[in-house]
Amino acid sequence: MKHKIEAKYVAGVILVVIIVGVLAYYNNMLVGVGLPAPGVQYKVFQCPIDGLTFATQELLNQHSSLVHGGAQPGVVGTFTMKDTAYNALDITSALTLGTNVDQSFYGFRNGGWVLLGGHGASGTDIELIPQDGGYIYILCQRHSTQAYIFAAAQSLAMNPRAVQCQFLDVTGDSIKEFIVKWNMANIPPAASGYPSCTFNGYYFADDSGSASIPSGGQPADITGVTGAATTKFLAWYLSLSAEKKALAVYKIELKVNSTDASKSEVVNINIPGVGLISGSSMSYQKTDSYQIWTWTIGENLGNSVYWQVPANTLNKFDLTASVKHTLASGDIMNWTLTVYELAAGQTTTTDTDSVLVTYA
């Protein structure tokens, strides 16, 4: 009987220990022995390496989210920034910094832009402070009146440290510029001098002053349209002046010299880089003399579509429009296509052509 009582006593003690242990575990009281409660982030402190500050596992877990702009504490000190520039459609062709294009380095501090330094032939030394959060910004623009536009998408793709690109007025002159956010984390220490990395900027050679709707892209006038509802195709296309050029397009407009909506309408139009746009999706306006259909792609160089002609590619941007008519005797519909483009200096240029559609 005595042994039975002792066995029950031991079993009871074990049960109490188990209960206390479970409660301690779920209240995160065992973290000191490497047993954090479920859902609790376990901080792993590591010794500094190459002068870096202490890191926690939480910071290491942020690595995958750096491209979303999270701050990176501890990235401070002096770094050497190097930079180059190329034609985006001819990457073997280098551009001259300070002659063709300009690139400079900025910080964003106390809600404003701070110039850290301009392009240097052998690199530019810049100083990062905790407030920078581990990032700098690289301003990219044409030099003076040069006809180059920063190729944001290609530059982001070709630079692993480039996080994002925005189109903002950084210099305070009321003119927007392209500014690239650049990740300064984990730059290897240098054998001599300061740690360094290189930004490669890519630019389009702007063709807004020379692109055109050539004779082959100007549809012939159409005659003999009957009084029944009839759909016709106006096969416009635009070409650039040469290969390795690009054109920033921000708006397409179709108008007809009739205010009678029952006689003419846009069915759809093809816009390169955008797709087939229905007339019902386009902005519609009626004036004293015209009906006007407009598709707005953007309003600046930062959100335009870029028509590009790399080497050995077809230099033909299809703008075929489908239009419907129900005409009466004597009707002559004058359709006009206008392509709105932005030059490197952010001024508007246009290419336009007209087609007549006449009753039988």
pLDDT of residue 282: 98
Q: Which of 144, 177, 205 represents a domain boundary (last residue)?
A: 205
Please give the helix or strand (H or E) that residue 5 lies within, else none.
helix 2-26
Q: Which two tokens stand for residue 102?
A: 């300009």
pLDDT of residue 140: 98
Cβ-contact 135, 141 below 8 angstroms? no
Asked if pLDDT for residue 6 goes beyond 60, the answer is no
Among candidate residues 338, 331, 340, the one with its CA nearest the CA of residue 358: 331
Asked if pLDDT for residue 187 goes beyond 70, the answer is yes
pLDDT of residue 162: 98
Task: Specify the CATH number for the domain of residue 187.
Answer: 2.60.40
Task: Specify the CATH number for the domain of residue 292.
Answer: 2.60.40.2310
Per DSSP, the chain holds a count of helices (H) and strands (E) of: 3, 23
- Pair (198, 221) in one structural domain: no
**Residue range 27-31: mean pLDDT, rounded:** 47
Comparing 59-68, 203-212, 284-293, which segment has the lowest mean pLDDT? 59-68
**Residue range 67-96: mean pLDDT, rounded:** 89
For residue 149, is it within any domain?
Answer: yes
pLDDT of residue 7: 54
* CA dist list (Å): 302 to 85, 115, 153, 265, 305: 19, 22, 10, 32, 9
Put simply, whether the predicted model's pTM sits higher than 0.75 gets the answer yes
Q: How confident is the model at residue 15 (pLDDT cuts 50, 70, 90)?
A: low
- Pair (235, 197) in one structural domain: no
pLDDT of residue 40: 35
Q: Which two tokens stand for residue 360?
A: 């039988």
Q: Which two tokens stand for residue 93?
A: 């062709």
Among candidate residues 129, 141, 135, 136, the one with its CA nearest the CA of residue 168: 141
pLDDT of residue 36: 47
Among candidate residues 27, 56, 53, 54, the one with its CA nearest the CA of residue 42: 56
Could you tell me what percent of the chain has a pLDDT over 70? 81
Cβ-contact 255, 291 below 8 angstroms? yes
Q: Output the DSSP codes for 137-167.
A: EEEEEE-TT--EEE-HHHHHHH-TTEEEEEE
For residue 65, is it within any domain?
Answer: no
Asked if pLDDT for residue 37 goes beyond 60, the answer is no
Q: Is 53 exposed, middle or buried (0-12, 13-18, 19+ CB in 10 A)?
A: exposed
Please give the Cα distance from 99 to 122 (Å, whole number): 16
- End-to-end CA distance of the chain: give it in Å, rounded: 120
Q: Based on the structure, what is the number of domains in the chain?
A: 3
Could you tell me what percent of the chain has a pLDDT over 90? 79
Q: Output the DSSP codes for 194-263.
A: S-EEEEEEEEEEB-TTT-B--GGGSPPPEEEE-SS-EEEEE--EEB-SSTTEEEEEEEEEEEES---TTT
Q: Does residue 20 sit in helix, strand or coil? A: helix
Q: Is 188 left (phi over 0), alpha (psi -120 to 50) or beta?
A: beta
Residue span of the structural domain in which 328 resides: 215-359
Q: How confident is the model at residue 11 (pLDDT cuts 50, 70, 90)?
A: low
Asked if pLDDT for residue 66 goes beyond 70, the answer is no
For residue 62, is it within any domain?
Answer: no
Please give the Cα distance from 297 to 170 (Å, whole number): 24
Q: Which of 171, 205, 239 represents a domain boundary (last residue)?
A: 205
- Pair (237, 320) in one structural domain: yes
Comparing 7-21, 118-132, 260-274, 302-316, which segment has the lowest mean pLDDT? 7-21
Strand-pair partners of 199: 83
- Pair (153, 288) in one structural domain: no
Provide the mean pLDDT of the chain: 87
Asked if pLDDT for residue 71 goes beyond 90, the answer is no
- Pair (256, 184) in one structural domain: no
- Pair (195, 266) in one structural domain: no
Please give the Cα distance from 237 to 213 (Å, whole number): 6
Please give the helix or strand (H or E) that residue 183 lies within, else none.
strand 177-183
Please give the Cα distance from 51 to 199 (Å, whole number): 25
pLDDT of residue 22: 56
Among candidate residues 301, 291, 237, the one with its CA nearest the CA of residue 265: 291
Cβ-contact 253, 284 below 8 angstroms? no
Structure confidence by residue, pLDDT tens digits, 117-151: 999 999 999 999 999 999 999 999 999 999 999 99
Asked if pLDDT for residue 69 goes beyond 80, the answer is no
